[in-house]
Structure 1
Amino acid sequence: MSRSSRTPMSPTPCATRSRGWPDMLSTLPTSREAWVFPVPDLGDRRPEVSDGWASTRYSVDDKAKASVARLHLGADIMFRRRQRGELAEIYRPGTRHGTANYFMPDMVPAIAASAGVVIFAQWTGVGFTVKVFHPDGWTTYYTHLSLVSVAEGQAVVAGQPVGIIGFDPRDRRKLMHLHFELWRGRDDRRGATNPGPYLAAWERRSVPWTWPATAHRNAGLTYRPVGKSGERYPEWLHALKGKSGVYVIRERRGSDPPAVVYVGQSSTGRLFETLTRHLQTWRRWKGFWKGQYAEGHDPGLTYDRARVEVAVRVTSPAESIEEEARLIARLRPRDNLIGQPDEVPF
């Protein structure tokens, strides 16, 4: 992670003593040396507060069978859309990935706001929750996590991942976001303080991030060459390792317009491997397809690298199959045997 030059504002030290962790806390730098925003920038995208301090929330009291109003004691953090509809085809409003104005990708880490000791890291009714106690007597609270990457009693430093952002399982929308709180004192929610002014001043950290090539589903795909046989694949192809999504292969035909020949997908984080197997014609003669899905036809089609171009759209694992079907219906690829529109004869 890289850090920006922004000057952090640290909370004033609290009088609360560090009960239970004095030895470990004494080895950490004082909190005022570094406070950072608890969600990293993703490339050039900066997260922000999507719902702040003291907004009104409603929950159902099961005993009273009635809706109960309560105040929001922290800040919800997401990424703002730069314009209406931006990235809406990938992080659709009304789904767990977004609203009309904000969105949250999969696998975004929540990071420790400052150095401290993890005093709680467990599943709760609102998702996985982490609490970090800091040397100056403050506690930071992170919840709606889909998993945690720290353990109770572990020392952390500013910017260290504490978990992956998920959603509140009680929320009917299942909207992905980080809920963050700042408390005066050790593990005492009665000391909850408006984190807004602090968040606005804290340093930012960033992580490398590859965004989808297009912001809208109906925007044109960007096709790129993949080199010749025997050459190393381009770096943009290697960057697909560990990702899910869809790919479109089109073939150049002399002076005629290129023809879309194949659409495929990976929903298991193997987009690079799934795509490039169509470019490895030599493996056809070494039993590469033996025992694999649909051996002998789809997806055992291979193409001459020198004659094709490829477009890729990175998606969440859950969206890749749906996106593949949509592109097949739209582009009518020549060689797909699965998912072609009914009116296409075979």
Structure 2
Amino acid sequence: MRREPGSNISVEHGGVDIMYRRQPGDPWRAGTPNGTPNWIMPDHRAALAASDGVVWSAAKTPRGWSVVIDHAPRKLATYYTHLASVLVTAKQTVSAGTPIGIIDADPLDDQHIKHLHLEIWHGGASDRFDPQRIIETTWEYLPDPGDLPRPLVARNAGHRARDRGGFTVPVEFHYRRPPRR
């Protein structure tokens, strides 16, 4: 449950809010649209399609631009919102990792913290479930082959999935190097 921005109404969140874990030396200050004490979202970051599919909707909503991708024949869809702009159109075929929009903040949130909101729908918006269950139970975190000698930090939900007997949502890996000192 979370409080609806600007009101005392509590609503089920229904998804995950994706940001990057703060690293030493990150230039994005906490308390700005780009950061909290533990998380950051740099400007102009692309949201990526979580799996192959067809764009069902790419439209402006009260919460920013939103994209819904149908992953037929699995009867699953992914919903992305709080986008500043979209890079796809309805009926467009996308592959896992295709940039679909530019991440921004929820216009209705008083804090205006940039993040990507992601939901998975089974049959429709009324049958959504929190993707965290899938991320924690069926996604395998893979190291970047270029990790040495400096560690790299995954960004934009930087999980690459492998089918482990369950639902598979491959997401292209993207990295950002920690700032040089």
- TM-score normalised to the size of structure 2? 0.76
Question: What amino acid sits opposite 1:115 in the alignment?
Answer: D
Q: Which has the higher contact order (CA 8 A, sep 6+)?
A: 2
Counterpart position of 1:197: 133
In structure 1, runs of 5+ residues without a counterpart are 1-54, 61-65, 215-346
Name the CA shift for 1:118/1:177 in 2 (closer, same or farther; >3 Å): same
Matches within 5 A, 1:91-240: 91-135=28-72, 136-185=74-123, 188-200=124-136, 201=139, 202=161, 203-207=170-174, 209=176, 211-214=178-181
Does the 8 Å contact 1:184/1:192 carry over to 2? yes
2:48 partner amino acid: I
Larger Rg: 1
User: TM-score normalized by structure 1?
Assistant: 0.41
Cα deviation code 1:262-295 (max 9, x no counterpart): xxxxxxxxxxxxxxxxxxxxxxxxxxxxxxxxxx
Amino acid at match of 1:59: P
Distance 2:71 2:129 in 1: 15
In 2: Cα distance, 1:180 partner to 1:189 partner: 12
Q: 1:176: how far off?
A: 0.5
SS of equivalent residue, structure 1 residue 97: coil
* SS of structure 2 residue aligned to 1:129: strand
Instruction: Summarize the Cα distance change of 1:132–1:199 in structure 2 as closer, same or farther, 3 Å threshold.
Output: same
Amino acid at match of 1:177: H
2:135 partner amino acid: L
Amino acid at match of 1:199: I
For 1:80 and 1:208, locate their aligned partners in 2 and report how far apart those are by CA, in whole Å.
Answer: 12
TM-superposed CA distance for 1:204, in Å, is: 4.7
Cα deviations by residue, 1:152-187 (Å, 9 ceiling, x for unpaired):
1101111111111111111222100000000101xx
Residue 59 of structure 1 and its aligned partner are, at CA, apart by 3.2
Residue 76, structure 1, aligned to residue 17, structure 2: yes
The one-letter amino acid of 2:15's match is: G
Figure out how many residues of one structure are paired with residues of the other and give that number: 149
Query: Residues 204, 130 of structure 1: CA spacing in aligned structure 2 closer, same or farther, 3 A cutoff?
Result: closer
In proportion to residue count, which structure has more helix? Answer: 1
Give the secondary structure class of the aligned counterpart of 2:11: strand
Residue pair 1:59, 1:69 contacting (<8 A) in 2 also: no
Alignment correspondent of 2:166 = none
Q: Deviations over 1:72-97 (max 9, x none)?
A: 11000111124xxx335x11000000
Distance 1:108 1:193 in 2: 25
CA deviations over 1:96-144 (Å, ceiling 9, x no partner): 0010011111121111111111111011111110000111111100000
**Structure 1 residues 98 and 117: alpha-carbon distance in aligned structure 2, compared to 1, 3 A threshold:** same
Aligned residue runs from structure 1 range 251-290, under 5 A: none
What is the CA distance between 1:211 and its match in structure 2? 4.6
* Identity fraction in percent: 38
Q: What SS class does the counterpart of residue 42 from structure 2 fall into? A: coil
| Inter-partner Cα distance in structure 1 for 2:176 and 2:130 | 30
Q: CA deviation at 1:146?
A: 1.0
Quote the residue 1:58 is aligned against: 4
